[in-house]
Structure 1
């Protein structure tokens, strides 16, 4: 019954940032491990929001105007009694701007995660180790040497890019198929985004065990729909401008809690 009430784990996945807050409350020393990551996120965020976001907003503005101008050109030949459609066009313009704006915020937050997690990896690693030690009373680390460690980190990022591009191109072409293609591409795009989010925030705990990329992806899917709930709340947290400078470390810590509770003893 509890499984049904929690959406078969979906709501449980959403709860992990709040579980981390309880852990911080009982172990306040853990807060010291998020100071440097927050500072790193602030520096990276300044460059992203000033550069990428402002540039992206200009592109969004041009795209919106292009769409509205095409609609206006189609309405020229409409009869006079349909002049009320102009109000619909104005409403549509605002809807398009809001949707594209939200999409731009999500993309900017997503990129902030990618750069922030890489640059602050040592501190996130320490935070993850401490959380795992508290949660499981032990910690497993497979040493491979610094050179191989760096190489694995590079390969991890490259494989994520291949995953995004591979499915992104597929979903792009599917989006041209009326109705069915649009639905599949939208759901598929959200699925890949959620998978990448989970990979990023689970990786501190999983990489200590030197798990290969395919198995990491498989573990994300094995914990569905809890992993979907976790990705949803994290996507919301990283999509809020400026707030995400602070929430990303919480997502990393929450990911370690998720791995400890739902992966270590069940799938590894």
Structure 2
């Protein structure tokens, strides 16, 4: 298959849907482009390896110690409640004898919820750091793609200063995203306490914010 026919195929794939439904075709376009130009794989493989290294460091340095901390904190709840019930007046202690037993179940629930929150937090940190540190390769990938599509490279050549600029640009972009999430996410969280209209608005707003 010639270069011209390859790019015609990419163009046809990209022009099939219109509007917001065009997004699902982008991974296919990317795979076709990588198949046609194997030299671009370096711009893809290196950020992947960077993300794997960052993920291993985050999970080893943050997830495992935090998981042990959660276990130590949650395991002390039944004992604390048992001591609290024992210190109550006799009539209250008899009424609340079930509390220490129920706390064991509460311990398991808390471990589960905190584990989910910990995994989500670690994943978010991985995404943020991966996007920032992978910015130089993403920028190079964009330039090479522009060269293939437009026939020319953007003005400038790869250098350390450009890599630093790419990282700084990615960092400011992620900070803006974080600020936007806080500014819009907190009101949406409050709207969840106003069912059913507030919950519906919060759901739509959350999807729009995530997009």
Deviation at 1:42, TM superposition (A): 0.7
Measured against aligned partners, the alpha-carbon deviations of 1:163-201 in whole angstroms (never above 9, x if no partner) come to 11100111111111111111211221221121xxxxxxx
Q: Secondary structure at the match of 2:194?
A: coil
The within-5 A match list for 1:71-220 is 101=116, 108-141=122-155, 146=161, 149=165, 152-194=169-211
Q: Give the TM-score normalised by the residue count of structure 2.
A: 0.57
Does the CA contact (< 8 Å) of 2:135 and 2:170 recur in 1? no
> Cα distance 1:52–1:167, how it changes in 2: closer, same or farther (>3 A)?
farther
- Partner of 1:15: helix, strand, or coil? helix
**Distance change (3 Å), C-alpha of 1:137 and 1:106:** farther
Change (3 A) 1:52 1:177: farther
5+ residue gaps in structure 2?
A: 1-15, 75-108
Q: Which runs of 5+ in 1 are unaligned?
A: 63-93, 195-268
1:140 shift after superposition: 3.6
Give the alignment's TM-score, normalised by structure 1.
0.46
Cα RMSD of the aligned pairs, angstroms, is 3.8
Contact 2:44–2:137 (Cα < 8 Å) also in 1: yes
- 1:24 to 2:38 alignment: no
Q: Is the 8 A contact 1:172 1:185 kept in 2?
A: yes
* Kept after mapping to 1: 8 A contact 2:63/2:118: no
- Count of equivalent residues: 152
- Equivalent residue in structure 2 for 1:35, among 45, 52, 66: 45
Q: Which has the higher contact order (CA 8 A, sep 6+)?
A: 1
Deviations along 1:187-238, one digit per CA (max 9) or x if unpaired, are 21221121xxxxxxxxxxxxxxxxxxxxxxxxxxxxxxxxxxxxxxxxxxxx
